[in-house]
Amino acid sequence: MTFSLSAQDFTQSPAYFLYDSVLVTIHRDFTADIRYRQRIAFNRDAPDKYTSISIHLNKYISLEDIQVATDLPDGRRVLLSDSDIQTVSDFGPQYYPDSKTKIVPLPLIRENARTTIEYTLHYGCLLYLPEFIMQRDIPSARAGIVIRSRIPCRYYCSPGTFKADSVGNALNLYAEEIPAYETEEGSPVDYRYRVFLRPDTILYENAIYPMRSWDDVAAFYNRLAFPNEYPDKLIAHLADSLCRYSKDQNDSLLSLFTYVRENIRYISADIGRGDFKPLNPIQIVNRRIGDCKDQSTLLISLIRSMGFAAYPALAVSSDKPNVIDSLPWPGYFDHVIAAVNTANGFLFLDASQQSCCFGKTPISIRNRPLLICRDSNSYPVIPAISEHGNAGDINLIYRIKNNGDINCHVHLALYRDMAFGFYDSRPELVSSSIKDALFSSIPADQYRMSFHLENNSPDLIMMSGEYVDRFQSVPDARELALKVVSPSFEYLKRKFRGKDRRSPFAFPYPFRLKETIDIIIEDSYSFKNDSLIIDYNECGLQYYIQVYSRQTSYRAYKFFQLAGYTLPSECYDRFKTFLPKTIQTISRSMDIISTTNNVKGNTP
């Protein structure tokens, strides 16, 4: 494949790819070599992420050769030395000793420099073939993938992105002028320019496995995780001892789940790293460490020992590309949990989530495909999880005294997933997490808050407390602006504009949020008479606001509801613009009239 510079002007970007090419060769012995060739032009100083590259290796992926060189504007060429390459072990030597990451620095990156990167990876097993995401955060003048395979393969590429032609036994996919992806900070890579290659058959640990259907994928994983039809006698004995005092099936499942979660220390490892094969259950018990595959394998073995039907469920977390239904493949999945078949349907158990309660599916795999590895009829499905009850109720009561003292009493209740979103990461830090997320607008010097948790569980968080403020002295002023905190606004601002957005138009769960703000004043002050109603309603998103004030009373009521997981981009953009302008105006300040000249007030 030859490359030429596009006529498009890329000078506005700090850097761009002159070319970005991949050559994939799949051999008859079910191995592969992938040659990467890139040349980057730097218009300005390099962005941090382009000062080095990371290459992930394990016992099935090896780095065969690498050449990196930078051509400087004065004509000098600087070559990368092998001693400059760092090796970082991903896991401890007792777990995955072959899993490591090579950190390759790009030498002397500066304005008007050109850096060429070429390296080859050898894949001893086709299970580890990567997906090729060719759109990046800098543009490409030209990009392409050439595929040569000696065994039957199928491929997928994003519609309308790549041109394709065949020359002999080679498939050439290429695209010109790939733009840089545009996304919010903290969001995943745009997957529009995506190429996925899948062989019909693989060789793994000297056994040949077909990969033509989802049943093939399920059978493959079941054979790896459960080579024997019946659990080991020691595992059966352990399960029996753990469930000795259990009253029913649910009680037994809870006992087994609790044992695995509390006794097997979780070590993170994507299913596509390290190894696809989990450890033997006895090894897991003895080592007392394991990743999600190991924990789920042990848990399923214990459950089956008690006579209950349980299966591994391969999951895709929210920051991974979508599963391509027409190309079955185990490499999509980066998480494994247990699925127990009960009279009320499947009960999903994830022992790797230390804060995850029994039967609670982690938010990161909600609304994402699960492959329940049964003997037949396996197919990626999105489990039906009730979203009813995902709600938050917030009440604030401000009391303003004649001497200028302000006291605000706060009570909030978060239900189901809204509670779980705070509880899931660090249960012991729920109080501080909520204050940081919902009360961040309070200046640090006024952050005199006394909050206490009334309930702290994955399905319900209740919190009460108060904070104090005071008007400053404002001579001859009769109109004051009171700064009012709106926790619901802070919460929505994070969902629509904050750094924790995982995807601009996708949300982890539907929810509703109510907030009521009341202000009670003594006789030295009065409110202007005013009222306002705003009702925003489109695309399953509703935001209703009602504000009214009379001389002695003020109330602001806000109701927000998101009915689905996603929003069209146009709706998202409109609400993102609407939110700060509207809420800042009507909810965070209001006019208060002083009936005396001795006013102590706080005027923002």
Pick 441 or 390 by higher pLDDT. Answer: 390
Positive or negative: CA dihedral 183, 189, 193, 194: negative
pLDDT at 137: 78
- For 119, phi then psi, to 5°, come to -155, 160
Residue 85, pLDDT > 70, answer: yes
Which CATH number applies to 213-372?
3.10.620.30
Instruction: Supply the pLDDT for residue 516.
Output: 94
pLDDT value at 446 more than 60: no
CB atoms within 10 A of CB 114: 15
CA proximity to 520, closest of 555, 559, 495, 473: 555
Where in the chain are all domains bearing CATH 3.10.620.30?
213-372
Surface-to-core class of residue 517, CB atoms within 10 Å of its CB (0-12 exposed, 13-18 middle, 19+ buried): buried
Distance from C-alpha of 420 to C-alpha of 457, rounded to nearest angstrom: 8
User: Residue 513 and residue 590: Cα distance in Å, rounded?
Assistant: 22
Residue 466 pLDDT exceeds 90: no
- Give pLDDT, residue 312: 95
* DSSP strand pairing (449-456 vs 472-473): unpaired
What's the pLDDT band for 95 if we cut at 50, 70, 90? Answer: very low
| Residue 448 in this model has a pLDDT that exceeds 70 | no
Give the per-residue pLDDT at 93. Answer: 43
pLDDT at 253 over 90: yes
Second-level CATH architecture of 15-204: Sandwich (2.60)
Of 234-243, 398-407, 525-534, give the range with the top mean pLDDT. 234-243
Distance between CA atoms of residues 169 and 190, nearest Å: 30
Mean pLDDT of the chain: 82
pLDDT at site 271: 38
Q: Tokens at residue 337, please?
A: 């949990």
Q: How far is CA 218 from CA 47, 210, 224, 409, 567, in A?
A: 42, 11, 10, 54, 33
Helix (H, G, I), strand (E, B) or coil at 411: strand
pLDDT of residue 362: 78
CA distance 476 to 484: 23
- Where is pLDDT greater, at 275 or 21? 21
pLDDT, residue 51, reads 83
Q: What is the pLDDT of residue 595?
A: 62
The answer to whether 188 and 502 are in contact (CB under 8 A) is: yes
Residue 148 tokens read as: 């040569």
The confidence band for 581, taking pLDDT boundaries of 50, 70 and 90, is confident
Judge whether residue 303 has pLDDT over 90.
Answer: yes
pLDDT of 300 higher than 90: yes
In the chain, CATH 2.60.40.3140 covers 15-204
Structure tokens at 48: 């941090």
Give residue 173's pLDDT: 93
- Helix, strand and coil percent figures for the chain, each rounded to 5: 20, 40, 40
Q: How far apart are the first and last CA of the chain?
A: 63
> What pLDDT sits at residue 94?
43
Which pLDDT value is given to residue 527? 76
Range scoring the smallest mean pLDDT among 114-118, 208-212, 448-452, 514-518: 448-452
pLDDT at 474 over 80: no
Segment 418-427 mean pLDDT: 76
pLDDT tens-digit profile of 500-525?
Answer: 555 556 787 889 999 999 988 877 77
Burial class (CB in 10 A: 0-12, 13-18, 19+), 156: middle
Instruction: List the beta strands (DSSP E) in 185-226.
Output: 194-199, 201-204, 207-210
Instruction: Report whether 198 contacts 329 (CB < 8 A).
Output: yes
Give Cα separations from 18 to 2, 3, 4, 70 (angstroms). 12, 8, 8, 14
**Per-residue pLDDT averaged across 354-361, rounded?**
69
Q: Which two tokens stand for residue 550?
A: 């009379």
Residue 604, judged by CB atoms within 10 A of its CB (0-12, 13-18, 19+), counts as: exposed
Does 116 or 134 have the greater pLDDT score? 116
pLDDT at residue 204 above 50? yes
CA separation for the pair 459, 251 (Å, rounded)? 19
Mean pLDDT confidence for 521-545: 83
The pLDDT of 300-323, averaged and rounded, is 89
pLDDT band for position 242 (cuts 50, 70, 90): very high
Pick the more confident residue, 112 or 317.
112
pLDDT, one tens digit per residue, over 337-346 is 999 999 988 9
Q: For residue 115, what pLDDT is reported?
A: 94
Query: Residue 479 has what pLDDT?
Result: 56
State yes or no: pLDDT of 475 exceeds 90. Answer: no
Count the residues in the chain: 604
pLDDT beyond 70 at 401: yes
- pLDDT reported for residue 302: 96
| 149-183: pLDDT as tens digits | 999 999 999 888 999 998 878 999 999 888 887 65
pLDDT band at 197 (very low <50, low <70, confident <90, very high): very high
Q: Which residue has the higher pLDDT, 208 or 469?
A: 208
**Burial of residue 461 (number of CB atoms within 10 Å: 0-12, 13-18, 19+):** buried
Percent of the chain with pLDDT over 90: 39
